[in-house]
């Protein structure tokens, strides 16, 4: 009888350290409205956004992911040689082949570790955190580095009234590892492919290449031909969010074993400040429970938004390490993932 070995890891896991990187260039609503037919008042009122950050100069997804990870590793105090896997959540890495995680691992001096990307839109960080926690619980790795990084500005049509004002760039990372008490609840996650076209690239890769080929040599000045522009039907996403997310949040709290009164902070994906305030109200969280509002000056950074928002709250003192936070990522797919977590300590080197 052949017996194949199996592993069993550490059941209690937590985020041990966090780090982030915010691009230097800040774009105000007024600056954006030089090309977008909108106004500072409209954008702030509908989305809660005043500024967003876009990469410039030598900034890139690769550079931001590495910078955020260095800070997360430093904050965790973990020797990087002990990190057994790197998970990169992103939808905007410049190439599908090669994927980004091995390159980031190499840049971090961790060449050789298991390294893979997760593409789950704005829910990507929550998916990554879930996979990391399960890797550790199953014994596949002792420590896992989870990174959310996006350069949304590369796929943005700044003249599009539906998306031009929403998206920003940035990176956040956490080191996940064993802990005395459990700090990451079971994940509640799901998807709705039936509504997937509500947030999508304007062209798929085949259409894009056909178009580029047809336009070649025609002298076309269509600026969008060089980019895979993202379109969003905001009202459709809003309707989906209103039906799906309250149920998901209740389910996250229920399966976490804590009660709504135990939640110290609410850190949802930074898609829309108004949606987030509404979700808090519907959940019946206490008046004094702070809601992350990183979107105001960072915009919607998709898979990077939750770790960036956690970092902002820890750095500004709105939240403290060890507090109980409710997380929920949601967006393209359409997909979502949520957990109740214990927050890591504030980063040693903040991103701002
Ligand atoms: N600037 C100024 N006016 C605009 C505008 C813009 N950028 N975009 C639309 N408008 C106008 C419309 O023309 C319309 O005018 P009318 O009433 O005179 O016809 C009005 O504003 C309302 O347009 P609408 O498309 O209904 O906007 P909205 O209230 O749905 O707000 C979003 C747009 C994108 C802020 C909102 O739909 C939203 O947040 N959706 C969810 C997005 C989300 O969560 N995405 C997740 C991504 S991960």
CATH number at residue 311: 3.40.47.10
294 lies in the same domain as 160: no
128 lies in the same domain as 244: no
Give the integer Cα–Cα distance in Å for 31 and 36. 9
Mutate to test the pocket of ligand 1, among 89, 150, 234, 276 (most ligand atoms within 8 A of CB): 234
Instruction: Judge whether 106 counts as a catalytic residue.
Output: no
Query: Within a domain: residue 121?
Result: yes
Peptide linkage before 45 cis (omega within 30 of 0) = no
CA of 266 to the centre of ligand 1 (A): 25
The pLDDT of residue 219 is: 67
Mutate to test the pocket of ligand 1, among 40, 46, 48 (most ligand atoms within 8 A of CB): 46
127 lies in the same domain as 240: no
Q: Give Cα separations from 314 to 11, 17, 170 (angstroms).
A: 26, 11, 17
The pLDDT of residue 228 is: 74
Query: Within a domain: residue 31?
Result: yes
Nearest-CA neighbor of 165 among 88, 272, 320? 272
> CB-side exposure of 324: number of CA atoms within 13 Å?
16
Instruction: Judge whether 122 counts as a catalytic residue.
Output: yes
Residue 159 Cβ < 6 Å to ligand 1: no
Whose tokens are 């990077």? That residue is 304
Query: Within a domain: residue 202?
Result: no
76 lies in the same domain as 143: yes
Entry pTM: 0.94
129 lies in the same domain as 256: no
The pLDDT of residue 114 is: 98
37 lies in the same domain as 129: yes
Single out the residue in 131, 148, 178 at which a domain terminates.
Answer: 178
Span 76-117, pLDDT tens digits: 999 999 999 999 999 999 999 999 999 999 999 999 999 999
Evaluate the CA torsion angle 87, 91, 93, 95 in order and state its sign.
positive
Query: Within a domain: residue 1?
Result: no
Atom of ligand 1 nearest to the CA of 163: 34
The pLDDT of residue 226 is: 54
List of residues 6+ apart from 81 with CB closer than 8 A? 110
Query: Within a domain: residue 226?
Result: no
Spans of the chain below 50 pLDDT: none
247 lies in the same domain as 167: no
The pLDDT of residue 330 is: 96
114 lies in the same domain as 51: yes
56 lies in the same domain as 133: yes
160 lies in the same domain as 87: yes
The pLDDT of residue 221 is: 60
157 lies in the same domain as 47: yes
Q: Residue 20 is part of which domain span?
A: 13-178
Atom of ligand 1 nearest to the CA of 46: 35
Give helix 234-256 / helix 273-283 axis angle, nearest 10°: 40
Query: Within a domain: residue 349?
Result: no
CA of 165 to the centre of ligand 1 (A): 10
| Percent of the chain whose predicted confidence (pLDDT) is above 70 | 97
Total structural domains within the chain:
2
163 lies in the same domain as 281: no
The pLDDT of residue 222 is: 60
Catalytic choice (29, 135, 269, 276): 269
The pLDDT of residue 278 is: 85
Span 53-69, pLDDT tens digits: 999 999 999 999 999 99
Q: Whose CA is nearest to atom 44 of ligand 1?
A: 271
Query: Within a domain: residue 204?
Result: no
Residue 165 Cβ < 6 Å to ligand 1: yes
Token pair in block for residue 347? 């980063």
Single out the residue in 111, 145, 178 at which a domain terminates.
Answer: 178
Instruction: Judge whether 33 counts as a catalytic residue.
Output: no
Query: Within a domain: residue 218?
Result: no
């Amino acid at each position: 009888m052949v017996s194949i070995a199996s592993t069993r890891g550490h059941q209690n896991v937590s985020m041990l350290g966090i780090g982030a990187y915010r691009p230097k260039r800040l774009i105000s609503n007024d600056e954006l409205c030089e090309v977008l037919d909108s106004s500072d008042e409209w954008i702030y009122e509908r989305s809660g956004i005043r500024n967003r950050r876009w990469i410039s100069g030598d900034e890139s997804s690769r550079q931001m992911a590495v910078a955020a990870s260095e800070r997360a590793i430093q904050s965790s105090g973990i020797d990087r040689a002990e990190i057994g896997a790197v998970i990169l959540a992103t939808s905007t890495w410049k190439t599908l082949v090669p994927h980004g995680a091995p390159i980031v691992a190499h840049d971090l001096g961790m060449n050789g570790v298991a390294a893979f990307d997760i593409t789950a839109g704005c829910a990507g960080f929550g998916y990554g955190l879930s996979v990391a926690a399960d890797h550790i619980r199953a014994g596949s790795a002792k420590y896992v580095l989870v990174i959310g990084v996006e350069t949304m500005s590369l796929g943005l049509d700044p003249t599009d009234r539906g998306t031009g004002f929403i998206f920003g760039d940035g990176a956040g990372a956490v080191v996940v590892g064993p802990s005395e008490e459990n700090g990451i609840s079971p994940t509640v996650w799901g998807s709705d492919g039936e509504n997937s076209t509500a947030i999508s690239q304007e062209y798929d890769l085949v259409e894009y290449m056909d178009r580029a080929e047809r336009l070649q040599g025609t002298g076309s000045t269509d600026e969008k031909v060089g980019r895979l522009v993202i379109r969003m039907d905001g009202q459709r996403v809003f309707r989906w969010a209103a039906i799906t997310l309250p149920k998901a949040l209740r389910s996250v709290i229920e399966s976490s074993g804590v009660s709504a009164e135990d939640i110290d902070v609410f850190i949802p994906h930074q898609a829309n400040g108004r949606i987030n305030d509404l979700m808090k109200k519907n959940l019946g969280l206490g008046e004094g429970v702070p809601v992350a509002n990183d979107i105001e000056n960072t915009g919607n950074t998709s898979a990077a938004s939750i770790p960036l928002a956690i970092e902002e709250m820890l750095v500004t003192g709105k939240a403290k390490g060890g507090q109980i936070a409710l997380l929920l990522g949601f967006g393209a797919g359409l997909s979502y993932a949520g957990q109740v977590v214990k927050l890591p300590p504030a980063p040693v080197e903040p991103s701002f």
